Amino acid sequence: MAEEMISLSARLAQLARDKADAPAVSSGEETLTYGQFHRRTNRLARGLQAMGVKHGDLVTLGLPNGIGFVEACWALWKVGATPQPVSFRLPKAELEAIMELARTPIVIAAFDHQIDKPLVNIADIAALADDESDMPDVIAPVSKAPTSGGSTGRPKLILAGQPGVTAAEIPEVGGWQLRAESVALLPAPLYHNAGFGMMMSAINIGAHIVVMPRFDPEKTLAEIERWKATWVYMVPTMMNRIWHLPEEVRGRYDLSSLQTLWHLAAPCPPWLKEAFIHWLGGEVIQELYAGTEAQASTVISGTEWLEHRGSVGKVRMGEMVAMDEAGNPLPPREVGEIYMRRPEGAGPSYKYLGATAKTLPGGWESLGDIGWFDEDGYLYLADRRTDMILVGGSNVYPAEIEAALDEHEAVMSCAVIGIPDDDLGNKIHAIVQVSHPTTEAELRDYLSTRLVTYKQPRTYEFVDEPLRDDAGKVRRSALREARLEALKAQQPA
């Protein structure tokens, strides 16, 4: 029998009745109970309607972490619209490209950009309504629409295949190992798909979420102690920065309440993962591998990882297989491209706006990751999207940066690669051929208004030879290997 589903709005109304005085969301010194959160989002939903937001709209949301971000999402769902989250630091050109794809009626953000859509904040929306009574029950056709830079250098939207619904009966343990009594700390950006999905799950199960406005390593430990957090999500860069705190600082905080720490969105260095496992416990540390597209996923606990060092786990949802270039399944320990597909009978898990999926017959799809399986079915990633660069858990596509650099009058050709970095996982390195003398400072200044901060190169290298062949192709992997060899040669024996 199919599980009964209800709208996200109906779930919140249910929680507001059943636990009206229980904390729903906190940030800094402010907390909203479930009753307050429900009433507040009813008012905001009516404000959105007054601004012209209607059922089925995708609405671009560029707020920083905070209660306002969470309020905006549930207000949109109560209208039957879809939150379309973007970085609150997004440059104008990228914002406009995303707005064009989304056809958003308004932008909920605090950008300084001059754009051709109304740019509003939470106070603006609240000022247009004062009715906090329940809204008519509606279901958003699409629950969320996160963005990706895309390998073409143009952004794409990934529309979730699931509408704005959740299970009618609250399980004892929900997705992400969340419980109604959980205190879930979210220091990671909510506009990223993982943080966004975890926020949704935590509210739907009736947990208390604590949203940090920005990540700070010591402050994160302090917030775990302050709220007696039982659950936290981090990307490996955050774990790295926490681990590099002085040992006496890490030991200053009581983390005994912590039952679950999820990490995903980027590879975690083995030494760092092992350090966290020994520090917090093998069953506390949990890792998931999947794409925003959600065709399939793997999960592994810290305890399992110690027995399968380097793995990202066994497939828990859907199917995955390593295939060769001809699309043939590979035996254990043979490296190939990882293809995924949804469980049999399941509907599509996503739809692209601005891109097309890489597919094979039989419903198999690839996100471009390379890896292999062992004899026990554990997946190991040999590389992750050979062109894509993972910087602090964020996906960065070289083509997007190269397209921006190519617009500079002095740039004749360029290539962007990732260089390993102990803090961020990778740092972006730009190799540039110029037509006349140009400084690194000039290029940095040029990109500062065109790319969000984490996409801007950390280092530059100027070369005399063209970086692309006559067909316009660039071999980024060869360029990267040459630089890694040069760095290796510089290291003392």
pLDDT digits (tens, 9 = 90+) for 269-303: 788 899 999 999 999 999 999 988 999 999 999 99
Helix (H, G, I), strand (E, B) or coil at 366: strand
Tens-digit pLDDT profile for residues 158-194: 999 999 999 999 889 988 999 999 999 999 999 999 9
Under a CB-based contact definition with an 8 Å cutoff, are residues 317 and 297 in contact? yes
**What mean pLDDT is predicted for residues 21-38?**
98
Beta bridge partners of 301: 286
CATH 3.40.50.12780 matches 5-373 = yes
CA proximity to 287, closest of 214, 233, 222: 233
Residue 409 confidence (pLDDT) above 70: yes
Residue 384 confidence (pLDDT) above 70: no
Tens-digit pLDDT profile for residues 104-138: 999 999 999 999 999 999 999 999 999 999 999 99
Q: What is the pTM of this model?
A: 0.84
CATH fold of 389-490 reads GMP Synthetase; Chain A, domain 3 (3.30.300)
| Mean pLDDT score across all residues of the chain | 92
R_g of the chain computed on alpha carbons: 23
What is the percent of the chain where pLDDT is above 70? 96
The model's confidence at residue 225, banded by pLDDT at 50, 70 and 90, is very high
Tens-digit pLDDT profile for residues 302-333: 999 999 999 999 999 999 999 998 999 999 99
Under a CB-based contact definition with an 8 Å cutoff, are residues 283 and 301 in contact? yes
CA proximity to 226, closest of 29, 37, 32: 29
Q: Checking phi first, is residue 33 left (phi over 0); if not, alpha (psi -120 to 50) or beta?
A: beta
pLDDT of residue 493: 57
Tens-digit pLDDT profile for residues 439-473: 999 999 999 988 999 999 999 999 998 887 644 56
Name which of 42-56, 322-336, 377-391 the model is least confident about.
377-391
Q: From residue 163, give the alpha-carbon distance in Å to each of 141, 144, 380.
A: 5, 8, 32
The H or E element spanning position 482 is helix 476-490
